[in-house]
């Protein structure tokens, strides 16, 4: 089975994609993780993407489409996959269609922007192991220190308030039109984000199995 998660930055797509991945036993393909890995490792693609990610802009299609195409050709995708963060534009969706990829459901997670701002601006990650925390919802035992490895907790550039605003602006302009694109194909299901992860998961499962 193949799924796409849509929704604004901070809507919880990544969490729900991972849960659905375990539920359906198919891999989650997150362009955000792929790009961050490339940035950390200093690859050619990562260096090209760096200027875009740090300013909250979308990475150009030719970069993203190339890495997605390569990833979908790997053996673990033969029985299905979940796309988290791709496509983000109409041209990317059209490129995916041209690959001959059949998508079963496109799940649109809808969360108020006020909630998104609070979620992202309060997020902190360990610069050593990557563990994630939150200033309100998931505090570390010692302020600024990772519970798992003792590394320093930092705020990622793309979680700073001004970058979040830029990311939301880009989402509304370039990604939100995908809702209409997939609705015309009869694949879109809208899910309202809930207070808890488990309630949202239940809503997602009900939507795709309806």
Q: Which helix (H) or strand (E) holds 124?
A: strand 123-126
124 - beta bridge partners?
133
Among candidate residues 24, 105, 119, 123, the one labeled active-site is 123
Among candidate residues 13, 71, 119, 124, the one labeled active-site is 13
Distance between CA atoms of 162 and 166, rounded to whole angstroms? 6
Distance between CA atoms of 35 and 20, rounded to whole angstroms? 22
Catalytic status, residue 36: no
Catalytic status, residue 57: no
Catalytic status, residue 119: no
Among candidate residues 88, 105, 119, 124, the one labeled active-site is 88
Catalytic status, residue 48: no
Torsion, CA 154, CA 167, CA 13, CA 206, rounded to 10: 150
Catalytic status, residue 105: no
Distances (CA, A) of 43 to 3, 47, 49, 66, 70: 28, 6, 10, 14, 16
Among candidate residues 50, 156, 179, 187, the one labeled active-site is 156
Residues annotated as part of the active site: 13, 88, 123, 156, 167
């Amino acid at each position: 089975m193949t799924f796409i998660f849509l929704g604004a930055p901070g809507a919880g797509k990544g969490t729900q994609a991972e849960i659905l991945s375990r539920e359906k036993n198919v891999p989650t393909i997150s362009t955000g993780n792929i790009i961050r890995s490339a940035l950390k490792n200093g690859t050619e693609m990562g260096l090209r993407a760096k200027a875009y990610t740090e300013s909250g802009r979308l990475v150009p299609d030719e970069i993203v489409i190339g890495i997605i195409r390569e990833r979908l050709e790997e053996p673990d995708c033969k029985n299905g996959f979940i796309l988290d963060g791709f496509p983000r534009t109409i041209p990317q969706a059209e490129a995916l269609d041209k690959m001959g990829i059949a998508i079963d459901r496109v799940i649109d997670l809808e969360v108020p922007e006020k909630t998104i701002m609070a979620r992202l601006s309060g997020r902190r990650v360990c610069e050593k192991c990557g563990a994630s925390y939150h200033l309100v919802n998931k505090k570390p035992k010692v302020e600024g220190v990772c519970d798992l490895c003792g590394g320093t907790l930092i705020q990622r550039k793309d979680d700073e308030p001004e970058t979040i605003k830029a990311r939301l602006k880009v989402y509304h302009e370039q990604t939100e039109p995908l809702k209409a694109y997939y609705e015309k194909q009869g694949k879109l299901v809208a899910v309202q984000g809930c207070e808890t992860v488990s309630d949202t998961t239940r809503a997602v499962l009900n939507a795709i199995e309806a």
